[in-house]
């Protein structure tokens, strides 16, 4: 009966799985479909996947030593209580080898990434049945006892992770939304990220006129047993480039016509993006985070296409601020003022907290630090000699440079995530005296979600700022 159930479930997974690919280890399409869908299945379904206890003394010793060498607390380990959760290679349990998904030893557990790191290739292949342990026959030729489907799945299935959109407990991951796109590059730990907006400054989606692409690299393996599952590396940094976007200047006639149009622009030269997250070795839950965007060049006289730049009519600006006088000293006729965002960034101290580390369903993170956002006004004019349009700050009186004042420096962010059967997350941030709230909830399983961001300026708005901005986006989250 159990074999029939497994065949039915696996067939349904293959039929409805959103992704079916062959990875570097050359899994079959059926294996890969099960792995892709594993995290979206109800525990009542997962329990039908192959599970067994290892009772072969030699394997018990090797597995125990692998856990011990990985730095697990020996008091948590139990050589006589070793369980394996797997996905079938093909649907013949007599001869098919298995893909190891989870191995537990007493109260300790290893994810697929940890298994590939701390188990030898020989141990992995013998345990999965790829190699015969006895030297003859096929499949699992060692002593094992299958676990009936009626036995509940281990609570270790809920992995502790810091960023739900960038899970570190899987080999491959892709997250796609209108706000960000993430790609995990195999077991290297590298992440390639594309970002739309500047959330650290409080300007989300297209309100900042900025986007960017960065590569994140992990450094320094975390040897602390209590936190290594959630924080596999003590340091990671990312580096990349930002660019100016034209989206949002005129959204009429598009699906985004309901959103407010913006006037703030990214730097004409693009930005250098750098970030660093450092966890203290003595307390990995605590650390320091740095994020910065610096323009490649300072603002200067630049030829532009006016319809691709956010701008404020000079007449409208002077009507709102009658005490200002903006003019070119050499007689150029200024038509508009163009706000350009220059340097921005934040530095904060953070703390990660799981309410129950044994069952990490509830997660809280707090950040406290300083933020910096600098915006320059530039004048738009048409050159009478060549008929082209330019923006410039040279020899122009009355333009402003907006820099932080008082509470503009405050950076505060609180995040809560629930990772139970119905995962969801919520966060609230204050930066640049701008509130940014974020909520995401699942629609189907944990692969299709809905995210909402709302931002509002808490002080008097500057001419280039949007008082309120609300944006929704679906999220596609695929993990392998």
In tens digits, the chain (480 residues) has pLDDT values of 444 444 444 443 333 333 333 333 334 444 444 444 444 444 555 666 788 889 888 899 999 999 999 888 888 888 888 989 887 665 444 545 788 888 989 888 888 888 888 999 999 989 988 888 887 777 888 888 888 766 555 544 446 778 888 887 677 889 999 999 999 887 777 899 999 999 999 999 999 999 999 999 998 888 887 787 788 889 999 999 999 999 999 888 888 889 999 999 999 999 999 999 999 999 999 999 999 999 998 888 889 999 999 999 999 998 888 888 989 888 889 999 999 999 999 999 999 998 877 667 789 999 999 999 999 999 999 988 888 999 999 889 999 999 999 999 999 999 999 876 678 999 999 999 999 999 999 888 778 899 999 999 999 999 999 999 999 999 998 877
CA distance readout (Å), 97 to 50, 131, 132, 166: 11, 8, 10, 30
Distance, CA of 471 to CA of 256 (rounded, Å): 10
Chain centroid to CA 268: 27
pTM over 0.85: no
Angle of the 57-69 helix axis to the 121-128 helix axis, nearest 10: 130
Answer yes or no: are the C-beta atoms of 373 and 404 closer than 8 Å: yes
Distance, CA of 414 to CA of 439 (rounded, Å): 12
Both tokens of 361, joined, read: 């369903």
Side-chain-side CA neighbours of 46 within 13 Å: the count stands at 22
Distance, CA of 423 to CA of 289 (rounded, Å): 26
Distance, CA of 342 to CA of 364 (rounded, Å): 32
Number of C-beta neighbours around residue 296 at 10 A? 12
Answer yes or no: are the C-beta atoms of 433 and 457 closer than 8 Å: yes
Helix (H) / strand (E) containing 262: none
Distance, CA of 185 to CA of 254 (rounded, Å): 34
Residue 193 pLDDT: 95
Question: Number of helices and strands (H, E) in the chain?
Answer: 7, 26
Residue 46 pLDDT: 61
Tokens 């809905």 sit on residue:
450
Which long-range contacts link 454-459 to residues 24+ away (Cβ below 8 Å)? 455/202, 455/203, 455/204, 455/207, 457/202, 457/433, 458/430, 458/433, 458/434, 459/407, 459/408, 459/433
Residue 293 pLDDT: 97
Residue 32 pLDDT: 44
Q: How many residues does the chain have?
A: 480
Residue 296 three-state SS: coil
Residue 159 pLDDT: 62
Tokens 């200067």 sit on residue:
300
């Amino acid at each position: 009966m159990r074999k029939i159930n497994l065949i039915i479930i696996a067939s349904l997974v293959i039929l409805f799985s959103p992704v079916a690919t062959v990875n570097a280890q050359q899994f079959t399409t059926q294996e890969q479909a099960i792995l892709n869908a594993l995290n979206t299945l109800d525990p009542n379904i997962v329990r039908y996947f192959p599970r067994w206890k290892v009772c072969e003394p030699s394997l018990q010793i090797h597995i125990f030593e692998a856990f011990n060498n990985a730095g697990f607390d020996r008091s948590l380990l139990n050589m006589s209580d070793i369980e394996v959760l797997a996905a079938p290679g093909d649907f013949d349990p007599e001869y098919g080898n298995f893909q190891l998904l989870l191995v537990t030893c007493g109260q300790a557990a290893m994810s697929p990434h940890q298994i590939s790191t701390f188990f030898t290739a020989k141990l992995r292949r013998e345990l999965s049945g790829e190699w015969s342990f006895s030297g003859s026959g096929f499949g699992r030729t060692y002593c094992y006892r299958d676990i009936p489907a009626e036995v509940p799945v281990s609570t270790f299935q809920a992995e502790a992770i810091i960023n739900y959109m960038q899970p570190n407990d899987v080999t491959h991951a892709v997250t796609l939304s209108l706000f960000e796109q993430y790609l995990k590059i195999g077991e290297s730990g590298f992440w390639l990220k594309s970002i739309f907006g500047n959330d650290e400054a409080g300007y989300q989606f297209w309100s900042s006129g900025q986007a960017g692409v960065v590569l994140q690299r992990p450094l320094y393996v975390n040897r602390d047993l209590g936190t290594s599952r959630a924080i596999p590396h003590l340091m990671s940094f990312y580096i990349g480039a930002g660019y100016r976007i034209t989206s949002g200047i005129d959204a009429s006639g598009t699906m985004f016509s309901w959103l407010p149009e913006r006037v703030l622009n990214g730097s004409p030269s693009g930005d250098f993006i750098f970030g660093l997250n450092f966890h203290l070795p003595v307390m990995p839950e605590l650390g320091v985070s740095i994020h910065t965007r610096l323009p490649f060049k300072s603002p200067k006289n630049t030829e532009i296409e006016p319809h691709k730049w956010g701008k404020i009519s000079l007449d409208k600006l002077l009507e709102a601020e009658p005490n200002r006088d903006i003019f070119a000293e050499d007689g150029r006729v200024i038509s508009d003022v163009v706000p350009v965002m220059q340097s921005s960034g934040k530095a904060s101290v953070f703390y990660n907290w799981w309410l129950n580390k044994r069952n990490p369903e509830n997660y809280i993170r707090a950040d406290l630090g300083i933020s910096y956002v600098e915006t320059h006004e530039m004048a738009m004019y048409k050159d009478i000699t060549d008929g082209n349009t330019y923006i410039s700050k040279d020899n122009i009186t009355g333009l402003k440079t907006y820099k932080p004042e008082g509470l503009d420096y405050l950076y505060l962010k609180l995040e809560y995530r629930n990772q139970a059967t119905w995962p969801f997350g919520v966060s609230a941030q204050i930066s640049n005296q701008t509130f940014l709230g974020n909520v995401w909830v699942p629609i189907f399983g944990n692969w299709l979600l809905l995210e909402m961001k709302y931002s509002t300026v808490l002080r008097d708005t500057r001419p280039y700022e949007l008082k309120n901005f609300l944006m929704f986006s679906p999220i596609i989250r695929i993990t392998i």
